[in-house]
Chains A and B, each alone.
Chain A
Amino acid sequence: MSTLEVSPVEPLSGQSAHTVVNDFSIQIATVNGSGSQTANTVLMRSIFQMGIPVSGKNMFPSNIAGLPTWFTIRASQHGYIGRRKEIDFLVAMNPETAREDVLKLDDGAAVVYDEPLKLNELRSDLHFYPVPFDKLVAPACPEAKLRKLVRNMIYDGVVAWLLSIDMDEIRKALVKQFGKRKAKAAELNWGAVKAGFEYAAKTFTKTDPYRVERRNQTAGKIIIDGNAACALGAMFAGVTVVTWYPITPSSSLVESLLGYMRRHRLDPETGKATYAIVQAEDELASIGMALGAGWAGARSMTATAGPGISLMSEFIGLGYYAEIPTVVFNVERVGPSTGLPTRTAQGDILTTALLSHGDTHHPMFFPCSPEECFSLTIDAFNFAEQFQTPVFVMTDLDLGMNNWMADPFPYPETPIRRGKVLTAEDLDKLGGFARYKDVDGDGVGYRTLPGTNHNAAAYFTRGSGHNDKAQYTEREDDYIDNMERLAHKFKVMRGHVPEPVIHIAEKAKIGFVYVGTSDYAVRESCDQLKAEYDLDASTLRLKAYPFTHHLVDFIRSHDRVYVVDQNRDAQLLGLMRLELDPELIARLRSVRYFGGLPLDARTVTDDVIRQEGK
């Protein structure tokens, strides 16, 4: 027996007393491999085209076909595009989860479902809309083997009628989704959408309060996933060697890049590639190749997720110690071990910051949006060459694989900066160089590239102990000098990393510190705290590690600072604890969520209120 006891009551009927416009979330429960992704994207896009801020989040299994998948679309004219915990509108297509999905709803929610599931018997406090999908799909799709794929389009039509989504926008979204080359498939699917719409129009009386009204809040915006945005960033950063090993949720980053590069980075005269993209045999090889390429002067990168980061640990230590630029994208997922491969987390913050044995520290950049995936990726490539070290771009599954509304990316106005590289002409003037000598006081030595035609150009790169001339040494003073210089270099980076985004609320005694996708939940939570508890809160969103003085100033100016972590062990807080004064650490509190779903505002608000004792 379910935890929720239901007694049959008269069903809700008639028009709702109130209407909820452009502020709800729709959850579509399907089976993966059933073509629901297309139906869901079309639905999301059509709302977006009607000018309403929207987000779409796919909660999918680590599986190819046959397991439950949920897609959540949130429409919010207030611009909240983080995940909302409460579901207002359920489309229940998966018989296996339908019962549980329905029982979890708050009262007053609407349910579109496959008629034979008889979900209306479960509860009486919901608005039920049964649809005979199998009966409708047959005339819409004469070819039986395609019906499974087309069937889901029917709910787009039903939902369009129920929510007053403009059918022209659905059609437009459909055409965009299928592209010109698949016009026939688009027509077939359009037939199914229409069948759903017509069925709903003639069958239902709308009783739920949710509806869409046209607005003008998305004009000029684009829809893109974070992985594709990082790929575009890499292409416009001038990446030349890309190595990778497929792993969820990072694979689509390089797959997107492959498409972009084929289009825009073949030499117009010869048709030859100005880049190499290599699928390596494993992550050990992909990071090794990226470092070899960075050493030889390429702008190199690799993309991976937690398990790959673990494997790369040894090589990253070499990259740090031998001082080789490369960019590593870590699209975080739930660990440890294989963990939940298709769920999101910010669970690699500590591991990545200190990756590898011995004393190591690595810069990390934390984009929170597609715009920043693009711009911080470009920054990361410049930074890696400026400081001659591996740089990590830390995103997560939520940002990387979900579709986001974004402003179009501005063209990078600053030229590509290649860092301290000596040419043969430079060597003529200087007479020679010492690879690891701190000439400029920033801890960064000058390097030469293999292939430089000069007798003074060559040096020997090694992961073993070396002096400032890159010669092998086991001397105590050489080792200490070198390690102190590396520590100094890391300190110098503080003045060059992207600065945090700070919002100071007047009178605020509390503040939030966080990275990346926690942004959406935290900012919405600030509004909830103000509206519901009259509590003001400031925010500081870190865009990078190492930390800057802004963080210290921010903590000092607040009594209590909530550090938001999408992991169990409060890793961001832990990293701060390693570096801050005890007086500041005493002001820190932790808000953690690690269930694998994108963080939602209510979770943050409830936890803060509990800790504030309100």
Chain B
Amino acid sequence: MSTTVTPPPKKVNRLGLEVINYKGSKTTLCAGCGHNSVSERIVECFYELGVPPYTVAKFSGIGCSSKSPAYFLGLSHGFNGVHGRMPAIATGAILANSQLMGLGVTGDGDTASIGIGQFMHLVRRNLPMIYVIENNGVYGLTKGQFSATADLGSKLKSGTPNDLPPFDCCALALKWGATFVARSFSGDKKQLLALIKTAIAHRGLSVIDVISPCVTFNDHDGSTKSYSYMKDHETVLQELDFVPSFEDITVEIPEGQVMDVQMHDGSHLRIRKLHRDFDPTDRLAALAALEVAEAAGEVLTGVLYVNTHKPTFLELLNLVEEPVATLPESRVRPSREALDELMEELR
């Protein structure tokens, strides 16, 4: 005799996919690593927004952070390239197939040291993709050397102080052309979710610099990228609420307190200012705010800049809409007559 047990209905997103369809293989990073939290947020965002996994291409360079694309979106193609050169790989792939949603995950060594040149040129091109920097100020995979985002005076585990000033990747991105720039903290679940969702909806380059502590090599006293340092020094700029395009907006927006930014895909980012007057559409103000905060020893998090109008690199190239990679021969090989004409001109 048997009884039929009806399993509880599976929780699915608007595509009918379960969250497991957005997961990757098991992480091999250290327990407590901030990067794992970022991977979890990525899974949640893509699941909740119902992004078809096959439309996403994941990119990374080399380092602990760059291993993480194996740990999310297992149904998406991934490319773990060479150190510091993820932007080039991603650029080529997106040129080949402009319909892909590029998701790059990199670290502070990968981006701010060996990869600073490619990062700056990616920013300059405003290539439409998401670029997440998992920033812990240290080289984890080679066991604890300073990176170029380590703060002046920050100390290694051995007590050695850093005597060079850091690159602020958000300031660089702001200055040279990224159109969505944000900073977050791997421990701030709600803020990071809103930021990644906004990046998914944004058309243009999104740079999200996530302070993501390295529990093994940079979470001690004297580190400025530790959990406890962030707890004491993070200044949250705004309260963020992301409303996807497929959800009806029913709540009235209170005048003057909340800024509403309509994204390219019809979704909305609602920005409620906290204790500071800060306009995230004002690039110069954002740069100034970063300078002031750095001098005061604060770490500003939230949306630093958003620009929904600037043309992307793909628009500048005047590319056809469909992926050029798979255009049929009839559209990529000119005719016999065209060759004859060219030959005639060379006679």
Contacts and interface: CB of A to CB of B under 8 A. Distances in A.
A295 B89 contact: yes
A241 B346 contact: no
B80 A462 contact: yes
The 8 tightest CB contacts between A and B, nearest first, are A288-B88, A292-B92, A297-B325, A298-B96, A238-B332, A450-B77, A289-B92, A296-B96
Contacts of B327: 240, 274
Interface string B312-333: 0000011111011111010111
A455 B80 contact: no
B76 interface: yes
Given A265-B332, A290-B92, A459 B324 contact: no
Contacts of B338: 264
Nearest to B338: A264
A501 interface: no
Contacts of B99: 451
Contacts of A272: 318-321
A449 B326 CA distance: 10
Given A264-B334, A292-B88, A458 B76 contact: yes
A134 B77 CA distance: 68
Contacts of A300: 92, 96
Max chain A C-beta neighbours (<10 A), residue from B96, B99, B332: B96
A238 B333 contact: yes
A42 to B, nearest CB: 15
Interface string A362-386: 0000000000000000000000000
Contacts of B318: 271-273
22 contacts: A238-B333, A240-B325, A240-B327, A241-B325, A273-B320, A276-B319, A284-B88, A285-B118, A286-B88, A287-B88, A288-B89, A290-B92, A291-B89, A293-B93, A296-B96, A298-B96, A315-B82, A451-B97, A455-B54, A460-B69, A460-B80, A463-B82
A463 B80 contact: yes
Given A296-B100, A300-B96, A415-B329, A460 B88 contact: no
A288 B85 contact: yes
Contacts of B339: 232, 236, 409, 411
Given A298-B96, A409-B339, A411-B336, A276 B324 contact: yes
A351 interface: no
A438 to B, nearest CB: 21
Given A264-B334, A416-B329, A292 B90 contact: yes
A453 interface: yes
Interface of B: 52-55, 57, 69-70, 74-82, 85, 87-97, 99-100, 117-118, 121, 317-321, 323-327, 329, 331-334, 336, 338-340, 342-343, 346-347
A60 interface: no
B268 to A, nearest CB: 28
A584 interface: no
Interface stretch (A1-9, A80-88, A217-225): A217-225
Main SS at interface, chain B? helix
A409 B52 CA distance: 46
Given A285-B118, A296-B93, A409 B343 contact: yes
A221 B347 contact: yes
B152 to A, nearest CB: 28
Given A222-B347, A292-B89, A460 B100 contact: no
A272 B317 CA distance: 9
Nearest to A224: B346
Interface string A267-285: 1001111111010111011
A180 B174 CA distance: 48
A237 B334 CA distance: 9
Nearest to B329: A416
Interface string A438-462: 0000000000111111110111111
Given A284-B117, A288-B85, A463-B82, 13 more contacts: A222-B346, A222-B347, A241-B92, A265-B334, A272-B321, A274-B320, A276-B319, A288-B82, A290-B92, A296-B94, A450-B97, A458-B75, A461-B77
Given A411-B336, A416-B329, A223 B346 contact: yes
Contact of A463 (B81, B332, B347): B81
Interface string A95-131: 0000000000000000000000000000000000000
Contact of A297 (B52, B69, B81, B97): B97
Given A224-B346, A288-B81, A288-B85, A458 B54 contact: yes
A493 interface: no
A458 B25 CA distance: 13
Max chain A C-beta neighbours (<10 A), residue from B97, B121, B336: B97
Nearest to B117: A281
Nearest to A264: B334
A243 interface: yes
A199 interface: no
Given A238-B333, A285-B85, A451-B55, A296 B121 contact: no
A235 interface: yes
Max chain A C-beta neighbours (<10 A), residue from B100, B317, B324, B342: B324
Given A318-B81, A450-B100, A289 B320 contact: no
A315 B325 CA distance: 21
B324 A241 contact: yes
Contacts of A264: 334, 338
Contacts of B331: 267, 274
Interface of A: 220-224, 232, 235-241, 243, 260, 264-265, 267, 270-276, 278, 280-282, 284-300, 314-315, 318, 408-409, 411-412, 415-416, 448-455, 457-464, 472
A265 B327 CA distance: 12
B11 to A, nearest CB: 19
Contacts of B323: 296-297, 451
B117 to A, nearest CB: 6
Nearest to B91: A289
Contact of A452 (B54, B80, B87): B54
A463 B293 CA distance: 40
A459 B269 CA distance: 33
B110 to A, nearest CB: 13
B80 A274 contact: no
Contacts of A271: 318
Contacts of A416: 329, 332-333
Contact of B96 (A237, A292, A409, A458): A292
A6 B235 CA distance: 87
A472 B70 contact: yes
A31 B70 CA distance: 59
Given A267-B320, A472-B70, A449 B54 contact: no
A297 B326 contact: yes
Contact of A260 (B100, B319, B342): B342
Contact of A278 (B91, B97, B118, B342): B91
B42 to A, nearest CB: 15
Nearest to B24: A460
A584 B251 CA distance: 85
